Amino acid sequence: MSDSHLDSPTMQIVSEFMQEPELMLECINLSKVYAEGPAEVQVLDGLNLRVYAGERIAIVGASGSGKTTLLNLLGGLDLPSEGTVMIAGMNLASLDETQRGQMRNRNLGFVYQFHHLLGEFTALENVCMPLLIAGTDVPSATKRGAAMLERVGLGHRMQHKPSELSGGERQRVAIARALVTEPRCVLLDEPTGNLDRHTAHEIHALMSELNEQLDTSFIVVTHDEEFASTLDRVLQLRNGKLELVAGPTKKGGAAVEQGEPPHAD
């Protein structure tokens, strides 16, 4: 470990007898400003974040605080006004639009409050779509898509279209679609906001199970405080910066003490 890393304000304190977790995602001094007529609105202001492999993070905050904006920046769907987003060691600003799309396809999965399934396609076809976009042949994509639907408990619903599925089943298909490429990290924006409590608990349990099985990182924007409290870290977005609400993390056998995410004053 270099001295410069030791001096870093984003340093994670790890036992010398344990391997440091793999850094999956990092954003440094991230800012986002939108123009509203003659005025400018600063949504994010010098925000810093590190997410490690297999870590589950909840981001909470008031409506309009910028949580969805942050997810869009982390996923390369938008670019910051200032600052850097690194995914698996790649600086998103150094990639063109095509390259960012390829990076998302390889490394990221997305799950939204509204499932955004394609209504004319079956559950299996929806799940296979990211694989086909990546150039996987149809037989291989079908095999992998079917295996992922089995994994989320929908092996018996593969040939059903979204209109024939319940809300919870549609969200399970969306999660299967997000995970079928075996991404390093999944970004979720209120994934159970439209579900009843029982179904939401089932989705939460599924996410936890898949996290343990696949060692995928999850970054979840949620208003569900009970669910947030079950994750490794809870961060609150307020005044454009992240503040630690709950920690520490224990992942992969390495005890990690989390300080408050740093920010530029």
Q: Are strands 39-52 and 90-91 parallel, antiparallel or unpaired?
A: unpaired
Please tell me the distance from the alpha carbon of residue 121 to that of residue 116, in angstroms, as a whole number. Answer: 12
User: How does residue 248 score in pLDDT terms, banded at 50, 70 and 90?
Assistant: low
Sheet holding 108-112, edge to edge: 108-112, 185-189, 217-221, 56-60, 233-238, 241-246
Highest mean pLDDT among 1-5, 79-83, 140-144, 181-185 belongs to: 140-144
CATH fit for domain 3-257, picks 3.20.20.70, 3.40.50.300, 3.60.20.10, 3.40.50.10490: 3.40.50.300
Q: What percentage of the chain exceeds 90 in pLDDT?
A: 26
Task: Give, to the nearest 10 degrees, the angle between helix 167-179 and helix 197-214.
Answer: 20
Average pLDDT over residues 198-208: 79
Specify the higher pLDDT residue, 19 or 14.
Answer: 19
Domain spans, the chain: 3-257
Amino acid residing at 56: R
Spacing of C-alpha 56 from chain mean position: 9
Whether 123 has a pLDDT exceeding 90, the answer reads: yes
Q: pLDDT by residue (tens digit) across 70-89? A: 998 998 888 888 999 988 88
